[in-house]
Amino acid sequence: MRERRPLKVSIVDTSPVLAGSTAVEAFRTTAELAELSDHAGFSRYWLSELHGVPTNANTSPEVAVAAVASRTSNLRVGSGGVLLNHRSPYRVAETFLQLHAMFPGRIDLGVGRATSGPLIDFALQHSRSAVLSEESYEGKLVELLQWFDGFADDDLFAEVPFFEGVAGRPEPWILGSSPASAAVAARLGLAYCFAAFLNPAAAQTSLATYRRSSGPRRSGRDWRAPTRWWR
- Of 32-36, 89-93, 186-190, 222-226, least confident by mean pLDDT is 222-226
In a domain? residue 6: no
Host H or E run for residue 110: strand 107-112
Would residue 134 count as lying in a domain? yes
pLDDT at residue 6, as a whole number: 78
The answer to whether residue 90 sits within a structural domain is yes
Output the pLDDT for position 226. 47
- Residue 97 and residue 148 in contact, taking contact as beta carbons nearer than 8 Å: yes
Instruction: Assign residue 151 the CATH number of its domain.
Output: 3.20.20.30
pLDDT at position 150 over 80: yes
**Is 29 inside a domain boundary?**
yes
Q: Is 84 exposed, middle or buried (0-12, 13-18, 19+ CB in 10 A)?
A: buried
- 1 is a domain residue: no
Whether 2 is in a domain gets the answer: no
Tens-digit pLDDT profile for residues 184-210: 999 999 999 999 888 899 999 999 999
Q: Is residue 94 part of a domain?
A: yes
Cut 0.75: pTM above it: yes
For residue 1, pLDDT over 90 is answered with no
Domain membership flag for residue 4: no
Print the domain residue range for 199.
Answer: 11-222
Q: How many domains does the chain have?
A: 1
